[in-house]
Amino acid sequence: MTAPTHPRSAWTGLLLRRGFQIVALALLVATLCFLMARALPGDIATRIAAGRYGYDLVSNAAADAVRLELGLDRPAWRALLHWWGDLARLDLGRSVVSDLPVWREVGEALGSTLELSAAALLLATLVGLPLGIWSGLHPGGWIDRLALALAVLLRALPPFLLAVLLMLLVAVQLGMLPVAGDDGHGSLLLPALTLGLGLAAGLARVTATAMREAAAAPSYAFARTKGLSDRQALLRHGLRQAALPVVAYLGVQAVFLAEGALVVETLFSWPGIGHALVHAVFARDVPMIQGTALCMGLLFVLFNLLVDAACLGLDPRRRQGGGAAA
């Protein structure tokens, strides 16, 4: 954001920006889905009537009644306003395929997606952070060089290739884990590994750089001079300073997580939002497309909000400066 004309706290600015993004997201997705519904072949009114009364019982009169009731005969812009209005009242409609409310379907998928993302993030931090901290404190060591080589290799692999490699290697050749689906034990591991490894690679690199800089900072040297042990200096001064770029990096990687979830969930048939979205696209199930796309975008914006808030909380300079963040 540009420097505000009137002083506004950094927190308000943050909330305003992300709040605006949520509204923009809703409008954008809703409009695209509206166009999608219009572009579909066949008569919408007949389709909705068939959904209500069953394909055997639908008649022209029923279709006309639906058309009148939903205002489908009105010009496009009024229909669009109507469509937005439904969304504003949080009415997402029903899935054309399962006839269940979109809310419920999305809610079920949301749990799986959150589970997968949390597992991937956990894996990435468990692998990436210690590796990064170690290589940052011992630059040029063999762990540092190995981590760099691995990171370059992993970052060069797009998630879908990594997914396929893992599937063939671990599931098919070794037969250790289920290839796809969600049947309890171990199914989560492969998709989480796919997402988590790519994330861990970047995280390790960023952590290493941040740690190296934090350890080279004068404040760190002073902490050592005043008599803190290596451990204490690291825990009290080094980690906090190094945390900022690492957390900010996670914000940049929100896109990676969201896009990765879309592809990885579909490849592994993990019953999450991305999977639901892709299948809704196959089935031309516009209400479900809208619901899942909204939910995915919302997750993305909220994750960004959390990261921004964490950055603000960690860095007092940002709370005072305001204008510098772009």
Determine which residue in the list 164, 176, 216, 235 makes contact with other proteins, applying CB under 8 A: 164
Q: What does the per-residue mask of binding to other proteins show for 6-45, with x meaning CB under 8 A? A: -----------x--xxx-xx-xxx--xx-xx--x------
Stretch 210-229 residues interacting with other proteins (CB under 8 A): 212
If the CB atoms of residues 239 and 281 are measured against other proteins, the closer one turns out to be: 281
If the CB atoms of residues 58 and 129 are measured against other proteins, the closer one turns out to be: 129
First to last CA, the chain: 6
Q: Does 255 bind other proteins (CB under 8 A)?
A: yes
3-state secondary structure of 93: coil
If the CB atoms of residues 163 and 188 are measured against other proteins, the closer one turns out to be: 163
CA distance 87 to 322: 34
Q: How far is the CB of 312 from other proteins (least distance, A)?
A: 18
If the CB atoms of residues 121 and 296 are measured against other proteins, the closer one turns out to be: 296
CA distance 272 to 270: 6
Write down the number of H helices and E strands in the chain: 15, 0
Q: Supply φ then ψ for residue 94, to 5 degrees.
A: -115, 150
CB atoms within 10 A of CB 210: 24
Query: How many residues form the binding site for other proteins (CB under 8 A)?
Result: 51
If the CB atoms of residues 49 and 267 are measured against other proteins, the closer one turns out to be: 267
If the CB atoms of residues 206 and 242 are measured against other proteins, the closer one turns out to be: 206
Q: Does 160 bind other proteins (CB under 8 A)?
A: yes
Question: How far, in Å, are 89, 195, 245, 322 from residue 307 at the CA level?
Answer: 29, 19, 11, 16
Q: Does 174 bind other proteins (CB under 8 A)?
A: no
If the CB atoms of residues 22 and 228 are measured against other proteins, the closer one turns out to be: 22
Q: Does 202 bind other proteins (CB under 8 A)?
A: yes
Q: How far is the CB of 61 from other proteins (least distance, A)?
A: 32
CA distance 128 to 196: 9
Stretch 40-69 residues interacting with other proteins (CB under 8 A): none
Q: Does 134 bind other proteins (CB under 8 A)?
A: no
What does the DSSP 8-state code read for residue 99? Answer: -
> What length is written for the chain?
326
CA distance 55 to 51: 7
CA distance 113 to 273: 6
Determine which residue in the list 85, 107, 111, 158 makes contact with other proteins, applying CB under 8 A: 158
Determine which residue in the list 161, 169, 221, 235 makes contact with other proteins, applying CB under 8 A: 161
Q: Which residue bears the tokens 């997580």?
A: 257
Q: Among residues 314, 289, 272, which one has the least CA distance to residue 31?
A: 289
Q: Does 76 bind other proteins (CB under 8 A)?
A: no
CB 211 within 8 A of CB 143: no
Stretch 282-311 residues interacting with other proteins (CB under 8 A): 282, 289, 293, 296-297, 300-301
User: What secondary structure, in 3-state letters, does 26-74 show?
Assistant: HHHHHHHHHHHHHHCCCCHHHHHHHHHHCCCCCCHHHHHHHHHHHCCCC
Residues at the interface with other proteins (CB under 8 A): 1-2, 17, 20-22, 24-25, 27-29, 32-33, 35-36, 39, 155-156, 158-161, 164, 168, 202, 205-206, 208-209, 212, 249, 252, 254-255, 258-259, 262-263, 266-267, 277-278, 281-282, 289, 293, 296-297, 300-301, 326
